Amino acid sequence: MTVTQPPSPLPETPAVLVDLAVVRRNIARFQSYADAHGLKVRPHIKTHKLPPVARMQLAAGAVGITCQKVSEAEAMVAGAPEIGDVLITYNIVGAGKLARLAALARRVALSVVADSEAVIAGLSATFAPEPKPLAVLVECDTGARRCGVDRPERAAALAQVIAASPGLVFGGLMTYPPAGGAAAVEAFMVEAKARIEAGGLAVPVITSGGTPSMMQAAEAPVTTEYRPGTYVYNDRSLVERGVCGWDDCALTVLATVVSVPAPGRAIIDAGSKTLTSDLLGLSGYGHVLGRPDIAIDQLSEEHGRLVNEGPIGLAVGETVRIVPNHACVVTNMVDAVYALDDGRLERWPVPARGCIT
């Protein structure tokens, strides 16, 4: 284990620690890969929700940020005026959100996505009277079966609808690919691009995302931009998939043992309100650093249950550090994280936490 030890005094537990040396290394690693392959990087801020980390990503070469909700973008831009370019990879629906979107578009270069005529109509009605048109990308379903048009011909049709809509310009194509989906992305996007260009429109951006397959992003050479999120912190799900090692995990949860009620069981003060119930296909709720023999087999809201085969070897009052299954959702649970940098621990509020609208 070469994971940095946090300095004393420790914050009250449970606490979310972010090791900035690891963050910097993670940012640099993907930026180098992207630079080598001519890909633009537009990190998804859902993982950190922190303006200072967005600043680090921009300083390393990112072209802008990705957000999922309007309120996330509002919080990030308010916290880091350096952010000049935001893509919201979401169908924005509803009068309140559209009005906020228009206000945001007056402050930064803004683009959004759409996968239906209904969404495009709402965007157009809002942006027709605006001084600057809104760039709208077509969201494409390349296999994840969430949002998105599922055929290149439908992407081409929506591109034409966008281009013909007052207040909008066609901004390109966006996808969140399925696992290992570079081939699927390439096949879909090459055909969609050809159809759109045949219709007389340029396709300025083709953007894909996802940390698990980011180091294969260049296997879909049609892609111009990549939106990794979790890569900035990494987590247990990525270690278990072989994407990185424990030393690459920047976010850990510091917890205190509050009970050792049986020889092979200890209870910590971090439960689902900190670690969350996200399993991401794994067994157990996190990895106790330095103790691969321990499983976190059960969470209630404020208790985490640690079990092993033999004596658990932990005492009341001891602390453990846990790499959670899923870093992004842990960030969303806390009002602040503790940034660990060069032996110092600093409390950083998380302004984009809880931004669901």
Interface ranges with a copy of itself (CB under 8 A): 12-15, 46, 68-69, 90-91, 93-94, 96-97, 115-116, 118-119, 122, 141, 145-150, 256-262, 265, 267, 269-270, 272-274, 276-279, 298, 300-303, 305, 315-317, 328-329, 332-335, 354, 356-357
How far, in Å, CA of 70 to CA of 126, rounded? 15
Of the pair 200, 317, the CB lying nearest a copy of itself is at: 317
Q: Which is nearer to a copy of itself, 116 or 160 (CB)?
A: 116
Least gap, CB of 149 to a copy of itself (angstroms): 7
Residue 64 C-beta: closest distance to a copy of itself, Å: 19
Q: Which is nearer to a copy of itself, 39 or 238 (CB)?
A: 238
Tokens 């208790």: give the residue. Answer: 303
Going by the DSSP 8-state scheme, the letter that residue 246 receives in this structure is: G
Rank residues 12 and 342 by Cβ distance to a copy of itself and give the closer one. Answer: 12
344: helix, coil or strand?
Answer: strand
Least distance from C-beta 213 to a copy of itself, angstroms? 16
Q: Which residue has the tokens 């509803």?
A: 94
Q: Report the first-to-last Cα separation within the chain, whole angstroms.
A: 40
What does the alpha-carbon distance between residue 306 and residue 285 come to, in Å, rounded to a whole number? 10
Q: How many residues would you count in the chain?
A: 357
In terms of C-beta density within 10 A (0-12 exposed, 13-18 middle, 19 or more buried), how is residue 26 classed? buried
Residue 111 CA to residue 342 CA, distance in Å, equals 37
Given 3-state DSSP classes, what are the helix, strand and coil percentages for the chain, each rounded to the nearest 5?
A: 30, 25, 45
User: Nearest approach, Cβ of 187 to a copy of itself (angstroms)?
Assistant: 18
Q: With respect to a copy of itself, which residue has the nearer C-beta, 92 or 196?
A: 92
Query: Minimal distance in Å, beta carbon 16 to a copy of itself?
Result: 10
Strands 295-299 and 206-209: unpaired
DSSP-assigned beta bridge partners for residue 110: 86
What is the rounded CA–CA span in Å between residue 67 and residue 356? 11
CB within 8 A of 200, min separation 6: which ones?
none
Shortest distance (Å) from residue 65 CB to a copy of itself: 15
Whole-angstrom distance, CA of residue 312 vs CA of residue 291: 10
The CB-of-98 to a copy of itself minimum distance in angstroms stands at 11
* Residue closer to a copy of itself, measured from CB, 34 or 119: 119
CB of 28 to a copy of itself, least distance (A): 26
Is-contact 223 189, C-beta < 8 A?
yes
Question: Which of 252/256 has CB closer to a copy of itself?
Answer: 256
Closer of 31 and 124 to a copy of itself (Cβ): 124
